[in-house]
């Protein structure tokens, strides 16, 4: 029995074929994939959302997830942020020669489970195996395709003065967890990645409230960076109340020990929703009725005070600018 990934597995030859048949088709099985052509035939209808992400997270297994489930959730969520129902995923593996087969199987199984849960099909894929040292363990790219059901689709440039800013839950969980797992810190037991597929909740939300202006998931760069992008694209000011931002006590504690700011840490199962004030309470009710939106909060509002800026109203009532992430707080977080 072969217990490590060999170069041969990515050759396009017999060993590649066996890997595809025994591992990928087993865990991802669906009519489109199983034909094993160079491309998959998929059915689409009009306006579609397309998104891609490469996952390089280190370590590849961490509390609350692994690189496989993360690769499904991350792209499913990006597609859903356009007010779309994710339908299809492609996946491209780049694997280091010598990766234990057991690790690859665990990752592929986790991807299959995450895809079934999100109700998307992994319809086409590619596997490259590179010599030892040319990549660190395994990197995964996923690209997603979904049917847009919101009209118009929510967009980062659509925030308007008078809108409310909601977050769907606590900030910083994923970032702190990965950092902890990498460093072997002992808060590891208490914090878990929030990695999750948000599409079912998001589709319910945009169907109930078509007036939603912006949906965005605060991944790399965290809430602060995402808000700045929106403020710039929309030419508005986002005014956020520090006190209103939900952060788990254990995450706040871990951050204060390590000198990290949870507003700049990556999240993988949360989103920002910006919509007319009048619909904010209804949106919060929909969010809170779902396990993934249980801790949803209204954190601020959109104004025309200072175009392109994000201001934070601090606990003491002062106001300060909240900037984009500068420098790299934490590489390989997703």
- Least distance (Å) between residue 316 CB and a second copy: 27
- Binds a second copy (CB under 8 A): choice among 113, 116, 117, 128: 128
- Least distance (Å) between residue 269 CB and a second copy: 15
- Least distance (Å) between residue 249 CB and a second copy: 26
- Binds a second copy (CB under 8 A): choice among 25, 101, 252, 324: 324
Which CB atom, from 14 or from 315, has the smaller least distance to a second copy?
14
Closest CA to 240 of 176, 166, 181: 166
State which of positions 85-124 bind a second copy (CB under 8 A).
88, 90-94, 123-124
The Cα 181–Cα 191 span in angstroms is 10
- Least distance (Å) between residue 262 CB and a second copy: 15
State which of positions 209-248 bind a second copy (CB under 8 A).
216-217, 219-221, 225, 229, 233
The Cα 89–Cα 119 span in angstroms is 11
The half-sphere exposure of 146 on its side-chain side, counting CA atoms within 13 A, is 28
| Cα dihedral 249, 252, 254, 258 in deg (nearest 10) | -170
Q: Which two tokens stand for residue 257?
A: 């020990």
The 35-64 contact track toward a second copy, x by CB under 8 A, reads xxxxxxxxxxxxxxxxxxxx-x-x------
Q: Which long-range contacts (CB under 8 A, 24 or more apart) does 131-136 make?
A: 131/7, 131/97, 132/96, 132/97, 132/98, 133/96, 134/96, 135/94, 135/95, 135/96, 136/56, 136/58, 136/96
The 252-291 contact track toward a second copy, x by CB under 8 A, reads --------------x-------------------------
DSSP conformation class of 188: G
The vertex-275 CA angle with 269 and 281, nearest 5°, equals 85
Which CB atom, from 282 or from 325, has the smaller least distance to a second copy?
325
State yes or no: residue 321 binds a second copy (CB under 8 A). no
The Cα 271–Cα 125 span in angstroms is 28
Determine contact, residues 322/263, Cβ cutoff 8 Å.
Answer: yes
- Binds a second copy (CB under 8 A): choice among 145, 201, 236, 275: 145
The Cα 21–Cα 25 span in angstroms is 5
State which of positions 173-192 bind a second copy (CB under 8 A).
none
State which of positions 190-209 bind a second copy (CB under 8 A).
none
Q: Specify the stretch interacting with a second copy by CB under 8 A; choose among 138-146, 245-253, 277-285, 302-310.
A: 138-146
DSSP conformation class of 260: -
Q: Specify the stretch interacting with a second copy by CB under 8 A; choose among 32-40, 196-204, 246-254, 274-282.
A: 32-40
- Least distance (Å) between residue 43 CB and a second copy: 7
């Amino acid at each position: 029995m072969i217990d490590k990934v060999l170069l041969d597995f990515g050759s396009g030859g017999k060993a590649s074929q066996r890997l595809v048949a025994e591992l990928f088709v087993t865990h991802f099985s669906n009519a489109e994939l199983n034909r094993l052509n160079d491309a998959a035939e998929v059915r689409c209808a009009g306006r579609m959302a397309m998104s891609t992400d490469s996952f390089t997270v280190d370590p590849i297994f961490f509390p609350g997830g692994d690189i496989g489930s993360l690769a499904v959730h991350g792209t499913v969520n990006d597609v859903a942020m356009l007010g779309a129902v994710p339908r299809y995923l492609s996946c491209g593996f780049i694997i280091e020669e010598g990766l234990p087969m057991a690790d690859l199987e665990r990752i592929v199984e986790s991807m299959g489970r995450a895809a079934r849960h999100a109700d998307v099909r992994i319809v086409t894929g590619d596997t490259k195996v590179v010599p030892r040292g040319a990549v660190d363990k395994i990197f995964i790219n996923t690209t997603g395709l979904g049917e847009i059901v919101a009209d118009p689709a929510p967009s980062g440039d659509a925030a308007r003065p008078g809108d409310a800013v909601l977050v769907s839950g606590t900030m910083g969980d994923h970032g702190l967890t990965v950092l902890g797992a990498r460093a072997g810190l002992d808060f590891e037991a208490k914090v878990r990645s929030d990695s999750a597929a948000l599409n079912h909740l998001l589709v319910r939300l945009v169907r109930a409230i078509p007036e939603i202006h912006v949906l965005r998931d605060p991944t790399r760069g965290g809430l602060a960076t995402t808000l700045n992008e929106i403020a710039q694209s929309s030419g508005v000011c986002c005014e956020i109340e520090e006190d209103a931002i939900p952060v788990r006590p254990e995450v706040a504690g871990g951050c204060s020990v390590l000198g990290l700011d949870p507003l700049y840490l990556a999240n993988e199962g949360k989103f920002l929703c910006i919509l007319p004030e009048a619909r904010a309470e209804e949106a919060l009710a929909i969010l809170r009725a779902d396990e993934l939106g249980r801790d949803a909060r209204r954190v601020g509002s959109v104004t025309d005070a200072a175009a392109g800026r994000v201001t934070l109203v601090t606990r003491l009532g002062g106001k300060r600018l909240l900037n984009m992430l500068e420098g790299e707080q934490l590489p390989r977080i997703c």
